[in-house]
Structure formats: structure tokens, C-alpha cells
Amino acid sequence: MNTKAIIAVLGACSLPALAGVSSTTVTTDFSSGAEGWVGPAGPGGATTIEPTGGNNGAYMRTEFNNFGITFANSTNTDFLGDYTTADEITISMDIQVDYLNFFGQDVSRPWLVELRDFDGATGGYPYNSVWFLFDNISAANNGDWSTYSVTFDPNAMDLPGGWGGYGAEDPDTFEPTLPDGVSFSDVLSGVDEIAFTTFQPGFFFGFTDHTIGIDNLSITRTVPAPSALALIGLGGLVGTRRRR
């Protein structure tokens, strides 16, 4: 098993091992069904739960032709709600790419996690969101199961390194951004939907054939004891990718 850091933006040092830390992890491994996760469906193809072939057992699989694909959850409260009640959040998932092809040519596409708040949307946007780009995925690089994860401080006001915002547009660069007065923690105080998606805000792709599997979608909420808080000094995030 090889592990490489894709993003590491911390203060002066890495996280120490902490005593008195309370962590709660919830994982959907699809052995008990979708648990609120919904994949692409419609004229372009379908999403199913396969009993075997995942990263140990069942997994969710989509075969779909469209501009991109999204696996989202807006009903499972274990993945939603107020992230700012935790001092640290880790989101992790496994992915396997069997086929990613644009008019006969194998291609790569962005793969990101997006956290969406529908309540504060303005200016005709469907929601405000913050998103983190894990990597560009492809059949060549992700033919075997790969694990992506990101750890971050949900109480940060500014977007941590590696994160983007959505819900407004920069008037000079025309790039997507958070609306004026909306912070990273504002969005994370009311997450209405979590999505793993190839739709990176500000980018557009043509119709692409996707055959992709996902597994072991998890969220860990960590609340250190008061005596441990001074040891953290967490200013950003750690993102990793693991190939099996």
C-alpha cells in the first residue's frame, strides 16, 4: 500500500496524538443499502448497488453518459447538519474507475467533495457550497480501488488551502466564489447535502461515458477535550490518497 500526500497545509507541525479526543465515524459500505446516497439515473444510464466487487463486499456502481456524474446525499443526517460543532472533520471515500471515455478517447476528470447549503443561496444560485478537489481520476490511474480523504477545521472563516467556494462569481475573473459575507464556517454550519462529483465549479466538459464505483463513504467528527485543544494548532487540512 502506497500513500502520498496530495495536500498538506498545516501550521508549523503535524497533528500530535491527543489524549481525551472524542471521535465519531459513520461509514456507508453499501452492505445495508444506499443509506441515502443517490447516483446518476435517467436516459444516460443507471446506478446500482452491486453485492460484490467493492473494496470489501458491496459497492455503488454507475454506468452513465453525461457531462459529469454526482453521488449525493441529502437525507442521511449522519453526513449533514452543523459541522462546526466538531473541531475537526475527516471525509473519506473509495473509488474505482472502470471506464472514463470521451468519444473514443480515455480521459481524466476532476473528482471532488462538495458540501452544500441551500438555505443561504442568493442571486439565482441553487446553493452556497465549499468544495475540495481530491485529484483528477482516470481508468489508468484508478483502475484499482483508491482512497481519498480530507481533514479540515470546520470553524475556519477563510477557505483553507485547496478549497473553493460556490454561490457567487468574482466580478473580475468570473470564477465561482462564495458570496460576500459568507464564510467557510457559515456554509459548514448548515450542510444540507454532501456530494462526490466530477462537476468542478467553473469547468465544463462534453458528454462522457462513465463507469465508476464508490465504496466506504465516511465522515469522522472529532472533538478534543479542553486540555487537548491547545495542542492542535490546526490551520488548514490534510488530504491523502491511497492506492491499493
DSSP the chain: -EEEEEEEE-SSSPPPP-TTEEEEEEEE-STT--TTEE---BTTEEEEEESSSSSSS-EEEEEEEES--EEEESS-GGGSB-GGGSSEEEEEEEEEEEEEEETTEE--EEEEEEEEESTT--TT-S-EEEEEEEEEE-HHHHSS-EEEEEEE-TT-SSPPTTEEEESEE-TTT--EEPPTT--HHHHHTSB-EEEEES--TT-----EEEEEEEEEEEEEEEEE-HHHHHHH---SEEEEEEE-
pLDDT digits (tens, 9 = 90+) for 147-160: 999 999 999 999 99
Closest CA to 167 of 218, 112, 117, 204: 117
Share above pLDDT 90 across residues of the chain, in percent, rounded to a whole number: 80
pLDDT of residue 19: 55
Tell me the pTM. Answer: 0.84
Identify the pLDDT of residue 47.
98
87-132 tens-digit pLDDT: 999 999 999 999 999 999 999 999 999 999 999 899 999 999 999 9
pLDDT of residue 88: 98
Q: Looking at the predicted structure, is the pLDDT value of residue 9 above 90?
A: no
Domains of the chain and any CATH numbers: 23-222 (2.60.120.260)
pLDDT of residue 3: 34
Q: Is 191 exposed, middle or buried (0-12, 13-18, 19+ CB in 10 A)?
A: buried
Q: 13 exposed, middle or buried (CB, 10 Å; 0-12, 13-18, 19+)?
A: exposed
In the prediction, which pLDDT does 8 show?
Answer: 32
| Of the candidates 225, 214, 154, 243, the residue with the CA atom closest to the CA atom of residue 27 | 214
- From 119-128, 181-190, 222-231, the region with the lowest mean pLDDT: 222-231
Q: How confident is the model at residue 226 (pLDDT cuts 50, 70, 90)?
A: low
Longest Cα pair distance anywhere in the chain, in angstroms?
58
pLDDT at 201 over 50: yes
Give CA separation, 90 vs 86, 192, 206, in Å: 10, 17, 32
Q: How confident is the model at residue 225 (pLDDT cuts 50, 70, 90)?
A: low
CB atoms within 10 A of CB 43: 7
Joined together, the cell numbers standing for residue 33 give 443499502
Q: What does the pLDDT look like over 161-170, one tens digit per residue?
A: 999 999 999 9
- Higher-pLDDT residue of 233, 8: 233
Query: Could you report the per-residue pLDDT of 11-68, keeping only the tens digit for each?
Result: 333 444 445 779 999 999 999 999 999 999 999 999 999 999 999 999 999 999 999 9
From the CA atom positions of the chain, what is the Rg in Å?
A: 18
pLDDT of residue 224: 74
